Amino acid sequence: MARTVVVKLLGRKISYLTMFNKLQTIWKTKQPLQIIDSESDYFSVNFQNDDDCLLMMSGGPWTIFGQYLSVRLWTPEFSTNQEFPKNLMIWIKLPGLLEGMCTRSLLKFIGGAIGPVVKIDRNTTSKSRGQFARIAVYIDLGKLLISKLQIDGRIQRVEYESV
């Protein structure tokens, strides 16, 4: 498994030391991270073991100082010339979604109208919270955000966290 990811904090510049400390705190890796700062505010992060990398990739979306952290596996095609990442994993909220629509399959279908679904919040699937459903999706930053969906003839608002 690849153990190197490329990260960029959107909307804010931070120093190498701040990024290092924040990533150590939010990712809680078993082994120390190796971080290299690059051009255009990108950082390369190398994990010492597959488990740490897998836990980080399956977690998130990640935020630092209320700003989204773009995270993607490093590939040879990556270039720091790309000022902003094209896709970003974010949390969306569906406030007031009817309880009967909070099944995993329906939430994947509804979230899929926004972008590829990554995961569904535990509080949503366990129905321990009822004010909104929360889904992590990938969005294309080059496209307009969808603010409303029509579900069974009813208008459903879509809220984007930290955007």
Q: Does residue 91 share a domain with residue 38?
A: no
Whether the predicted pLDDT of 129 surpasses 80: no
How would residue 85 be classed by pLDDT, with cut points 50, 70 and 90? confident
More confident site: 17 or 132: 17
Residues 92 and 148 in one domain: yes
Q: Confidence class of residue 2 from pLDDT cuts 50, 70 and 90?
A: low
Q: How far is CA 147 from CA 30, 69, 92, 154, in A?
A: 39, 22, 10, 14
Q: Establish if 78 belongs to a structural domain.
A: no
Per-residue pLDDT tens over the stretch 45-80: 999 999 998 888 878 889 999 998 988 888 888 888
In a domain, 79, yes or no: no
Domain boundary among 41, 73, 105: 73
What's residue 55's pLDDT? 84
Residue 81 lies in a domain: no
Give the chain's domain count: 2
pLDDT above 90 covers a percentage of the chain that reads 51
Both 60 and 115 in a single domain? no
Cross-sheet strand order for the sheet of 159-160:
117-120, 132-140, 87-95, 159-160
Domain enclosing residue 26, as ranges: 4-73
pLDDT at 136 > cutoff 60: yes
Which tens digits make up the pLDDT trace of 18-49? 999 999 999 999 999 999 999 999 999 999 99
- Same domain flag for 18 and 54: yes
Burial class (CB in 10 A: 0-12, 13-18, 19+), 151: middle
- Judge if 111 and 152 occupy the same domain: yes
Residues 94 and 155 occupy one common structural domain: yes
Q: Is the pTM higher than 0.85? A: no
60 inside domain: yes
Same domain, 103 and 52: no
Whether residues 44 and 98 fall in one domain: no
Residue 125 pLDDT: 77
92 and 155 share one domain: yes
CATH code for the domain of 45: 3.30.70.330
- Structure-block tokens of residue 61: 């979306």
**Residues making up the chain, counted from first to last:** 163
Q: Please tell me whether residues 59 and 104 are part of one structural domain.
A: no
